[in-house]
Amino acid sequence: MSMNFEDTQRIKTTGKSTEPNSNQQNPLDDTQALAVKKPKRWRVILLGILLILIFGAGGGGFGYLNGIRQRVDKQNEEILTQAAIQYQYGVQQMANGNYELARTHLEYVLSIYPEFPGITEKYTEVMIELAKASQPTALPSPTPTVDTRGAEALFNQAVQEVQSQQWEAAMNTLEALRNEDYTYRTLEVDGLYFIVLRYRAIEMIVKNGDLEEGLYLLALSEQFAPLDRDAVNYANWARMYLTGVSFWEVNWEQVVSFFSQLYAAFPYMHDGTGWTATDRFIIASEKYGDQLVATGAPCDALEYYQNVLNINPQEHVQDKYNQAYLQCYPPTPTPEPLPTQTPLPDNVPTEESQPDS
């Protein structure tokens, strides 16, 4: 079937009517341009402002969510720390056979952090032990209501003593509180214990010179929380002092080695004798210098005599220094001058050459 080309041709629309005998003119002429409406400028501005507000709100929302996430992470970290501390307390009470107290600590861990590693197993062990202990069929007597007024008064007294830095009194008060009621406000009492033990230990080391007792209290405080940098330094200095004293009159070289370091770090640290690190450094330096001179090493002794003279010039130490210096650097003997012959003067008349009178 052949296709007529005219049938596929687009019909051209003109401005005149296609109806016969129609005199009405089409309002849209084929030569007439179409009018296009321009968008309003205020719509564009409004759209831009709206986009800015949306993006700003989104950024603020992200910042707010990030802040919430950080606070949640910090809170979770604090909860984990408290759970670890209470878990250790529970394990210690189990080792001591105090299963009721162990149950109290472990139940606290379960209440704040039930996913803590090993908590389920330990709690099960505690409950088994408690069940074994409760096997007798005798009816338990009614448990009287615990009177906590005494414990509360002791707690408030300990807080006041900590605030006024009465460390020894606060430690005695906390001991009385533990004897009164071991379970009273356990976390807060442990926190007070750490503070009191830490500052009482430093007080005993620095003021009292009781280095052994101070180290013991610092070791106790580490059971509650890690020590801060200052407390660690005091502990190291106290150990250095005690180690240096252990070599006293046995090995003067070691004594000088330890107390030279302590003299530079904490020159006024002292023990029960009242001797400071500076005093011991001076004495040990002189003693070691004497030992070196006696063993034929006067040059090496100069350094240790000089240690004493740099801190506290003493006449007898200066004399020792001078003698060691002369032994180390003996003076060179001055050679005697060679004898010289006096020359005879010229034309000196002799007996033979005298003229006859």
Read out DSSP for 34-74?
PPPPPPPHHHHHHHHHHHHHHHHHHHHHHHHHHHHHHHHHH
| Rounded distance between C-alpha atoms, residue 36 and residue 121, angstroms | 81
Question: Whole-number mean pLDDT of the chain?
Answer: 78
168-188 confidence digits (pLDDT tens): 999 999 999 989 888 888 888
Query: If you write DSSP's letter for every residue of 119-153 in order, what string do you get?
Result: HHHHHHHHHHHHHHHT-S-SPPPPPPPP--HHHHH
Q: Which of 22-26, 47-51, 227-231, 285-289 has the highest mean pLDDT?
A: 285-289
As a whole number, mean pLDDT of residues 28-53 equals 60
Q: Say which residues have a Cβ less than 8 Å from residue 93's Cβ, sequence separation at least 6.
A: 99, 101, 102, 105
Of 90-104, 129-143, 166-180, 299-313, the poorest mean pLDDT is in 129-143
Contact 259, 245 (CB under 8 A): no
Contact 99, 130 (CB under 8 A): yes
Q: How far apart are CA 306 and CA 318, in angstroms?
A: 9
| 121-160: b (≥16 Cβ within 10 Å) or e | ebbeebeebeeeeeeeeeeeeeeeeeeeeebeebbebbee
Give the confidence band of 132 by pLDDT, cuts at 50, 70, 90.
low
pLDDT higher than 70, residue 197: yes
CATH 1.25.40 intervals, the chain: 228-330
Q: Which residue type is seen at 188?
A: E
What is the amino acid identity at position 114?
Answer: P
What pLDDT, on a 0 to 100 scale, did the predictor assign at position 14?
A: 44
What is the predicted pLDDT for the residue at 293?
Answer: 94
pLDDT on residue 46: 74
CATH classification code of 228-330: 1.25.40
**285 vs 147 pLDDT, higher one:** 285
Measured CA to CA, the distance from residue 347 to residue 337 in angstroms comes to 30
Predicted pLDDT of residue 131:
59
Give the residue, 334 or 261, on which the prediction is more confident: 261
What pLDDT is stored for residue 100 in this prediction?
Answer: 80
Confidence label for 63 from pLDDT (cuts 50, 70 and 90): low
Which pLDDT does position 355 carry in this prediction?
54
Q: Which of 148, 198, 153 is closest to 173 using CA atoms?
A: 153
Residue 16: strand, helix, or coil = strand
Hey, is 25 helix, strand or coil?
strand
Residue 94 has pLDDT above 90, yes or no: no
pLDDT at res. 7: 44
Question: Is the separation of the CB atoms in 206 and 233 below 8 Å?
Answer: no
- Angle at which helices 41-95 and 99-112 pack, to 10 degrees? 170
Distance of CA 305 to the CA centre of its chain: 39
Asked if the model's pLDDT at residue 301 lies above 90, the reply is yes
Q: How confident is the model at residue 135 (pLDDT cuts 50, 70, 90)?
A: very low
pLDDT for res 65: 62
Q: Which is higher by pLDDT, 243 or 331?
A: 243
345: pLDDT strictly greater than 90: no
pLDDT band with cut points at 50, 70 and 90 for residue 33: very low
Least confident segment among 63-77, 121-135, 187-201, 238-252: 121-135
Distance of CA 309 to the CA centre of its chain: 38
Partners of 25 in beta bridges? 16
Lowest mean pLDDT among 120-129, 247-256, 323-332: 120-129
| Pair of tokens at residue 191 | 């926190």
Q: Which residue has the higher pLDDT, 192 or 73?
A: 192
| Token output for 196 | 């009191």
219: closest CA among 246, 190, 189, 194? 194
pLDDT at 228 over 60: yes
171 close to 194: Cβ distance less than 8 angstroms:
no
Entry pTM:
0.53
- Do the beta carbons of residue 15 and residue 25 sit within 8 Å? yes
| Amino acid (one-letter) located at 248 | W
Task: Indicate the burial class of 323 (C-beta count within 10 angstroms; 0-12, 13-18, 19 or more).
Answer: middle
* Percent of the chain whose pLDDT exceeds 70: 69
- The whole-angstrom separation of Cα 219 and Cα 269 is 20
Cα 235 from chain centroid (whole Å) = 14
Residue 202 has pLDDT above 70, yes or no: yes
- Output the pLDDT for position 299: 94
Q: At which residue do the structure tokens 């007898």 appear?
A: 316
Tokens representing 165? 């830095």
Sign of the C-alpha dihedral computed for residues 120, 123, 129 and 134 taken in this order: negative
Q: What is the pLDDT of residue 168?
A: 92
